Amino acid sequence: MNTKKTYKRLTPVQKLVVVNARLRRGDMAKVANITGYSPTTVGSVLEGNSFNDRILNVAYDMTRFRKKNFHVIKDMKSRINKLTAADA
């Protein structure tokens, strides 16, 4: 049986980039509640000022399947443009 992994393990910096591209309002508080760390510590880790593997992994698991923030904004702008064009 072949047990070879088919994915590449991400470095902490790569995880941090993914998390920060998808972070939403209230996510730091959720990560703090799940991990038991203070929101200040979570904020420090997600800003890249300190390192904590547990916090980073929880935040990564929470955000990895989301759209990136700029895609969400782009979709919202196109919906607004469609609505304003329909009204005119």
Return the pLDDT at 17. Answer: 92
Task: Write the DSSP symbol of residue 10.
Answer: P
Q: What is the mean pLDDT of each run of 10 residues along the chain (88 residues)?
A: 65 92 93 96 95 94 86 86 78
| pLDDT tens readout for residues 6-18 | 556 889 999 999 9
pLDDT of residue 36: 96
CA distance linking residue 17 with residue 60, whole number of Å: 10
Q: What are the tens digits of pLDDT across the range 53-65?
A: 999 999 999 998 8
Give the residue extent of every domain in the chain. 12-87
Whose CA is closest to 21, among 81, 78, 66?
66
* 76-88 residues labelled b (16+ CB within 10 A) or e (exposed): eeeeeeeeeeeee
